[in-house]
Amino acid sequence: MTFFILLLFVLLVREYIAAGASEKVNDIAFLLLKSSMFVFGIIVLFSIITILIPYLMYRSAKSIPEIKFTYTDLNKIVCVVVCNKLLFPFAGILKAGLTFDKQYEVLIVLKKLKHRQAYGKKELTLPNIKSYDLDKVTLFFQDIFRLFSFKIEFKNKVLVTVLPVSDNEIELSNVLSYTMNKDEIRTDTIHHKEGELLQFKHFESSDDIRRIVWPFYAKTKELIVRTIEMQSMYASRIDLYASFCNNYRNMLAKTVSNDFLNNYKINIWELYKSLKKDNEVRFIPDQKSKIAVEYRHEVSAQISGMDWHANKIEDYLGNEKVSVVCISSLLSLQNVEKCLDKLDANTIVVFSSLRSSVEKIGVKDIVREIFTIPEKKIINWRWLFSPNRRKILNNDNAIRNILIARKLKFIEC
């Protein structure tokens, strides 16, 4: 930009001189032109020297940037870049560019440290909850005037898994958890078991008379007692199933499909955290996922590695009893019926609705999207004008209706 401004100034001076200005004015114009060219030449020379020397020294040192990824308590990814044996550009800027899946680039500004080191830290904001390949790392040496930029590329094959981020939990107060196993898993705290004080039974000779409910006897002349409250040092185990079967893959735009998939994964993660409070929970995925090796046994990473597929849901559920199963509104009504046929009355169904995920659009949202630049995109226009939108929403309503008709325990999120 500086170069083009100077070029415009030179052209204007030349046009002014060619227009027949006086000799005195010509001398002043030539003096200004020479001074400007001299100053610009000094700036260019200063810019090249201040970044060329660090650039050549770093190339000759054959040092490779160190890239580290760490997760916060909320599963957010923080990337740290460290460069050693580096002469930091004088009054310049050093940036590290990370390229993921050959299309997403993240720029991190590095700061100067002692002992010829540079350090940069940034929270990654990759668009989808999944695993990304870090293809390459590029170092950019830029001068203070932004005239030149020299770069060095480093091939780097690292798998980075974006985990579901949420500090919320799904409300389960009105749903009873279903115990899959008998007492097998010992815990450090005691848990309530069947036999609360609110339950009653007929009086037997071995019962304690202090537990007789006398008000009930006064009305009915029957002796009943409150059952003993029981506590155990063992916890029940819940098997959490989540189907990623998608029967509308060819009817949705990729952006809509990815957005809903992200919301679906967050719902499953919130459900897992809610169940994990008082139970031992086992997540049973319906596919092999591509995730980083160090996170292979983490449930959040397993959820991130899931993707839409067209496999049969009856093969996934099998013949075992199911504690909790998650389904989405992209599952056809026929497949939902096959799924429900394999469940019993104690199974909890968690229904993730596409309508709830992308349909929350008001007049204020439309006005804000058209006339302002919102921080976060609210309206997915491809979904709003999709020719298959009505068909998918009708399927969404049909799934909801069949869950209500069968009087199942289900949660919609």
Question: Tokens 């450090």 map to which residue?
Answer: 188
- Nearest-angstrom CA–CA distance, 93 and 148: 11
pLDDT band at 281 (very low <50, low <70, confident <90, very high): confident
The token pair at 178 is 């279903």
The pLDDT tens digits for 208-244 are 777 788 887 887 888 887 765 544 444 467 888 999 9
Res 372: pLDDT: 66
φ and ψ at residue 397, rounded to 5 degrees: -65, -40
- Nearest-angstrom CA–CA distance, 382 and 69: 34
What is the reported pTM?
0.72
* Closest among 256, 255, 277, 259 to 267, alpha carbons compared: 259
Res 138: pLDDT: 93
* Closest among 2, 94, 1 to 43, alpha carbons compared: 2
With a CB cutoff of 8 Å and minimum separation 6, the contacts of 288 are none
- Nearest-angstrom CA–CA distance, 240 and 269: 11
**Which residues are registered as beta bridge partners of 409?**
348
Res 321: pLDDT: 75
The pLDDT tens digits for 360-398 are 666 666 666 666 665 555 556 677 777 888 898 899 999
* Closest among 154, 151, 121 to 139, alpha carbons compared: 151
3-state helix, strand, coil in the chain (%, to 5): 35, 25, 35
Residue 212 CB burial class (10 angstroms; 0-12, 13-18, ≥19)? middle
- Nearest-angstrom CA–CA distance, 413 and 410: 10
The token pair at 308 is 């839409």
Percentage above 70 pLDDT, the chain: 74
* Sign for the pseudo-dihedral over CA of 337, 339, 343, 348: negative
- Which carries the bigger pLDDT value, residue 171 or residue 306? 306
Question: In the predicted model, what is the mean pLDDT of residues 324-334?
Answer: 90
- Nearest-angstrom CA–CA distance, 333 and 324: 19
Q: Does domain 61-161 have CATH number 1.10.10?
A: no
* DSSP class of 37: H
Spans of all domains in the chain: 61-161, 195-229, 237-412
The pLDDT tens digits for 295-304 are 666 888 889 9
Question: Tokens 């005037």 map to which residue?
Answer: 145
Secondary structure E strands in 217-347: 224-226, 231-235, 237-242, 280-284, 324-328
CA angle 18, 24, 28 (to 5 degrees): 80
Question: Tokens 């890239």 map to which residue?
Answer: 67
Q: Is a pLDDT exceeding 50 seen at residue 25?
A: yes
- Which carries the bigger pLDDT value, residue 256 or residue 184? 256
- CB-based burial, 165-178: b 16+ in 10 Å, e otherwise: beeeebebeebebb
Secondary structure E strands in 218-329: 224-226, 231-235, 237-242, 280-284, 324-328
Rounded CA Rg of the chain: 33
Res 3: pLDDT: 64
* Sign for the pseudo-dihedral over CA of 360, 366, 368, 373: positive
- Nearest-angstrom CA–CA distance, 276 and 157: 34
The torsion defined by the Cα of 46, 50, 55 and 56, in degrees rounded to 10, comes to 70
φ and ψ at residue 135, rounded to 5 degrees: -80, -45
Res 139: pLDDT: 94
